[in-house]
Amino acid sequence: MDRSPAPLPPVGLGTMGIEEPEPIATALEVGYRHLDTARIYGNEGVVGEGLAASDVERADVTVATKLWIDALAGDDVGPTARESAERLGVDRIDLLYVHRPRGAYDPATTLPALDSLVDAGVVGAVGVSNFEIDDLERAREVLDAPITAHQTELHPLYHRPELLEHAREHGYPVVAYSPLAGGKVRAVEEVVEIAERHGTTPEAVAIAWAVAKDPVVTIPKASSERHLRANLAAADLALGPDEVAAIDAIEREEELYPE
């Protein structure tokens, strides 16, 4: 079985809080090819409707969802993943994440259950989210399938270089979530200054800064067509090394999703 993951584009769509199919369909129309949802967001059905409404080839889109911490016991993984696939209206979840290594998560049973889903073709690839280095190491030991992505919080007010280092060393991408710090980047002085210099927005600078890092792709959430287009285009904004370093050096730390 081919377990090689499709490469993720630099900018995908975060869908947390999207409760109508329209922004999903619009996103696909304007060029998004990676949709990120989760069981806990309660919108897998909406994402599925948006996908079904679009003319984009299903095979060209990476559909990612996540198993919440109450569904990670070995026996629950299969049935819960199949429910997600059904809500999404897909035969195969391209990328299925462990949302957090908490609750019912037990690497010895959760991860083999994920491997079985890959073998059965219900899941294309396995991802993890909100893992620490020791969680990543344990997962690498237990999983048959490679870790295909680590989804972790990354924005100008919170980033973890050691997680990027681990990803580089082991050859999987980091999917940066909340790249706009949930909207707070527009008030971060260093980011605003750089945006003014480039005649663009702080949101575009935050996205460009994230994807300038190796091996990072990102999934800003946006609802309006204007934001959807602007975020996709932001991947082409080239920041200078000094600008990247200035954002790296911001000391004000704000983790939006701590334990």
The reply to whether 223 sits near ligand NAP by the rule CB under 6 A is yes
The residue whose two tokens read 């304007």 is 30
Can you read off the two tokens belonging to residue 234? 């932001």
- For residues 153 and 10, the answer to whether their CB atoms sit within 8 Å is no
DSSP reduced 3-state for 83: helix
User: Considering beta carbons, is residue 47 or 144 the nearer one to ligand NAP?
Assistant: 47
- 75-94: contacts with ligand NAP (CB under 6 A): none
Q: Which of 224, 236, 245, 252 binds ligand NAP (CB under 6 A)?
A: 224
CA angle 85, 91, 96 (to 5 degrees): 50
Q: Which of 54, 65, 130, 148 binds ligand NAP (CB under 6 A)?
A: 130
Q: How far is the CB of 157 from ligand NAP (least distance, A)?
A: 10
The reply to whether 16 sits near ligand NAP by the rule CB under 6 A is yes
Looking at residue 37, its amino acid is: T
Q: How far is the CB of 227 from ligand NAP (least distance, A)?
A: 4
Which is it for the CA torsion 197, 160, 131, 216, positive or negative? positive
Which region holds residue 6: left if phi is over 0, alpha if psi is between -120 and 50, else beta? beta
Q: How many residues bind ligand NAP (CB under 6 A)?
A: 27
Instruction: Report the side by side order of strands in the sheet with 147-153.
Output: 13-14, 34-36, 62-67, 93-98, 123-129, 147-153, 174-177, 216-218
DSSP reduced 3-state for 127: strand
For residue 54, how many other CB atoms are within 10 A of its CB?
18
Q: Which of 41, 97, 172, 177 is catalytic?
A: 41
Q: How far is the CB of 7 from ligand NAP (least distance, A)?
A: 19
CA angle 204, 211, 205 (to 5 degrees): 20
Binding segment (CB under 6 A) for ligand NAP, from list 11-19, 79-87, 107-115, 158-166? 11-19
The reply to whether 49 sits near ligand NAP by the rule CB under 6 A is no
Q: How far is the CB of 182 from ligand NAP (least distance, A)?
A: 4
The reply to whether 163 sits near ligand NAP by the rule CB under 6 A is no
Q: How far is the CB of 56 from ligand NAP (least distance, A)?
A: 19
The reply to whether 221 sits near ligand NAP by the rule CB under 6 A is yes
The reply to whether 182 sits near ligand NAP by the rule CB under 6 A is yes
What is the C-alpha to C-alpha distance for residues 175 and 13, in angstroms, rounded to an integer? Answer: 11
Can you read off the two tokens belonging to residue 118? 């890959």
The reply to whether 257 sits near ligand NAP by the rule CB under 6 A is yes
158 is known as an active-site residue: no
Catalytic residues: 41
Residues that bind ligand NAP (CB under 6 A): 14-16, 36, 99, 129-130, 151, 177-183, 201, 203, 219-224, 227, 230-231, 257
